[in-house]
Copies of this chain bind each other. A is one copy, B any other.
């Protein structure tokens, strides 16, 4: 089984497109060299990333690296790197280990990144110093045909929603995708293998360490202490397995080029909820001024933190979702959003000294006398309030949010209040459980 030629045609850039990209890359490299000469700096300019490796899709980003000698002072590396990037790109300052400049040049997004030209990954000064080794490894180990296979796998990962190591996707980086093709040989064989993957898979040889806890470990062939798949979340891993199985069963272009999802209308949302009997809860926060990646990581953490507190209060979370819009919005589907009027409050064992205080307090406030169960005091107490909105508000200090999120801006909306037009996107994400490849093409009239 091979990928349909009409699909390949849409994935692999044409000769003209390749030429255009290379021309732009050469132009920038030339300019950077001139800037370095003008400043009397002994550094090398090198094209990196997917364009250098020949594994890029349409409209790739360009990664231009400025390689300074290892003894070049770190503060000057930053300063000169930013100045050169700024002179050519007039872009924005971005942050990785070191700041760098991102801008647009002739319609392409360009990152200009200063790093150290080291001879060995054991002398790393920052994570970007590893990139030149990755580029070289792929160029030396993947021939033209395999690079195209990497492009196909990348397009598939993009289509099914597993591409990208950033917190939003928690998925497979470009380099990881290239290594998978190198390991298994082709797009098809990666998918066949993935359809049989199990959690805890290890590919390649390396030096195992404690932090390699994820569902997938792929040792970096240029640095055996590193897991290239460390960003892959178990749910992204499972999603890729699911997508691979689905594609092998019924291959289709929808895996590569899914139909964009139209958010559910509020009528559709209401229809789904009516038939079901579950309850909605939405929680919004003001949006902090931090970069998108960092914010996404905090969104995942907060979604988990909110769900945890809801569960600890006695609610059962059926599903959850989040979006970043003007504000941050989280949506939860709950079994029920009002708890029964009574609950059991479990206290300390009878023999500890706090027991007297517990008894004293609850003899008055309990609905009944405290009793002993499994050696502990317990007492029936009235639940007041009983609704999810008030209960969650009351526990807001206990929710583990992202560090830049403002708990004071938290606003909790009950079922009816959540069924508003401005919640359509987050509710759609919560309730539209179709995979990207399951969304049908619009019917021609």
Mark A residues whose CB is within 8 Å of B.
Answer: 196-199, 215, 234-235, 237-239, 241-242, 275-278, 316, 318-319, 335-336, 339-344, 349-352, 367-369, 371-376, 380, 431, 433-434
A433 and B369: CB pair below 8 A? yes
B340 and A380: CB pair below 8 A? no
| Contact partners of A241 in chain B: CB under 8 A | 350-351
CA distance A350 to B316 in the complex (A): 22
Given A342-B277, A369-B433, check contact A238 B351 (CB 8 Å).
Answer: yes
A-B contact pairs, 6 of them (CB 8 A): A238-B349, A241-B351, A276-B342, A278-B380, A335-B339, A335-B344
| Contact partners of A316 in chain B: CB under 8 A | 340, 343-344
Q: Select one of B238, B335, B351, B369 contacting A198, CB under 8 A.
A: B351
B278 and A341: CB pair below 8 A? yes
B235 and A373: CB pair below 8 A? yes
| Contact partners of A339 in chain B: CB under 8 A | 335
Residue of chain B at shortest CB distance from A198? B351
Q: Tell me how many chains of this kind the complex includes.
A: 2
CA distance A350 to B198 in the complex (A): 8
CA distance A52 to B428 in the complex (A): 82
Nearest chain B CB to A170 CB, angstrom units: 12
CA distance A374 to B239 in the complex (A): 11
| Contact partners of A350 in chain B: CB under 8 A | 238, 241-242
CA distance A238 to B370 in the complex (A): 13
B239 and A372: CB pair below 8 A? yes
CA distance A319 to B318 in the complex (A): 28
Given A318-B380, A350-B238, check contact A340 B372 (CB 8 Å).
Answer: no
Nearest chain B CB to A82 CB, angstrom units: 42
CA distance A431 to B55 in the complex (A): 73
B278 and A340: CB pair below 8 A? yes
B342 and A374: CB pair below 8 A? no
A199 and B372: CB pair below 8 A? no
Given A199-B349, A351-B199, check contact A374 B335 (CB 8 Å).
Answer: no
CA distance A380 to B276 in the complex (A): 9
CA distance A336 to B431 in the complex (A): 28
Nearest chain B CB to A161 CB, angstrom units: 12
CA distance A352 to B350 in the complex (A): 46
B238 and A342: CB pair below 8 A? no
| Contact partners of A375 in chain B: CB under 8 A | 199, 215, 234-235, 237-238
* Given A234-B375, A277-B341, 16 other A-B residues pairs in contact with their CB atoms under 8 A: A199-B349, A238-B350, A238-B375, A239-B372, A241-B350, A241-B351, A242-B350, A276-B367, A277-B340, A277-B342, A316-B344, A319-B371, A335-B343, A368-B431, A369-B434, A371-B433
Residue of chain B at shortest CB distance from A240? B350
| Contact partners of A434 in chain B: CB under 8 A | 369
| Contact partners of A352 in chain B: CB under 8 A | 198
Given A278-B342, A342-B335, check contact A242 B349 (CB 8 Å).
Answer: no
Nearest chain B CB to A4 CB, angstrom units: 26
* Closest 10 pairs (CB-CB, A-B): A277-B341, A238-B350, A335-B340, A336-B340, A234-B375, A198-B351, A369-B433, A278-B342, A238-B372, A238-B375
B239 and A351: CB pair below 8 A? no
| Contact partners of A319 in chain B: CB under 8 A | 371, 380
B433 and A368: CB pair below 8 A? yes
| Most B C-beta atoms less than 10 A away, residue of A237, A340, A341 | A340
| Contact partners of A197 in chain B: CB under 8 A | 351
| Contact partners of A234 in chain B: CB under 8 A | 374-375
Nearest chain B CB to A393 CB, angstrom units: 22
| Contact partners of A235 in chain B: CB under 8 A | 372-375
CA distance A340 to B339 in the complex (A): 10
CA distance A194 to B319 in the complex (A): 50
